Amino acid sequence: MSSPLPSSPAPSVLDLAPVVPVVVLDDLADAVPLARALVAGGLPAIEVTLRTPVALDAIRAIAGEVPDAVVGAGTLVTAEQVGEVVAAGARFLVSPGWTDVLLEAMRASGVPFLPGVSTTSEVVALLERGVREMKFFPAEAAGGTAYLKALAAPLPQARFCPTGGITPASAPEYLALPNVGCVGGSWMLPKDAVAGRDWGRVEALAREAAGLSAGGTSR
């Protein structure tokens, strides 16, 4: 979700908002109104995961109809998917993990990206390849704030978007860390609100998330 190289002119997605909504869409008709609700609530960077058959079309719809949204693609696991989502309009890329083949495909796309890491060795390997901004996944299961805090001293050049198990209560603890730019989460998209198409509730929850910062107060 952010620039892979220091020389890249693309702005860092880590700095757009404190929270990046992680969206799983089952109904294509929900894509545009859901994205509009998130943007209205102050969360412009939206990660649409490639976990459902409609994901690619959802990215295309949001890119075409919600100009204030910075729509990205998540759960990228193959080089072929990179080309498909960029063609659909994805403006950033997120993977749960990485290989050299996937990494090179994301780098060649020219689109900002966040490869997923969960170990120190993976972070060091990415730094060797010029990548400084990464997804830390699955955040809670992989060690949470304690793990990221431990990485900050030996690897201060690495910045992270932790995702996986983060809640409104724990998000400020992550955001307080010097090596965390933002967090990813889905709590502003309750299943019942999406199923009921209660976009007003989604917007209100997005607004609360957009106000989160270290310590839990508005930025």
User: Tokens standing for 62?
Assistant: 């949001």
* Single-letter amino acid, residue 105: A
**Helix, strand or coil, per DSSP, at residue 55:** helix
Please work out, in degrees rounded to the nearest 5, the angle formed at the alpha carbon of residue 126 by the alpha carbons of 123 and 132.
Answer: 85
Out of 47, 133, 173, 203, pick the active-site residue: 47
Question: Whole-angstrom Cα distance, residue 22 to residue 193?
Answer: 15
135 is catalytic: yes
What is the separation, in whole angstroms, between the first and last Cα of the chain? 21
**Helix, strand or coil, per DSSP, at residue 44:** coil
Nearest to 206 by CA among 41, 86, 18, 57: 41
Q: What are phi and psi of 62, to 5 degrees?
A: -65, -45
Out of 133, 135, 173, 203, pick the active-site residue: 135
Question: Whole-angstrom Cα distance, residue 101 to residue 54?
Answer: 25
Sign of CA pseudo-dihedral 136, 138, 141, 145: positive
47 is catalytic: yes
**Helix, strand or coil, per DSSP, at residue 161:** strand
**Helix, strand or coil, per DSSP, at residue 197:** coil
Catalytic residues, by residue number, are 47, 135
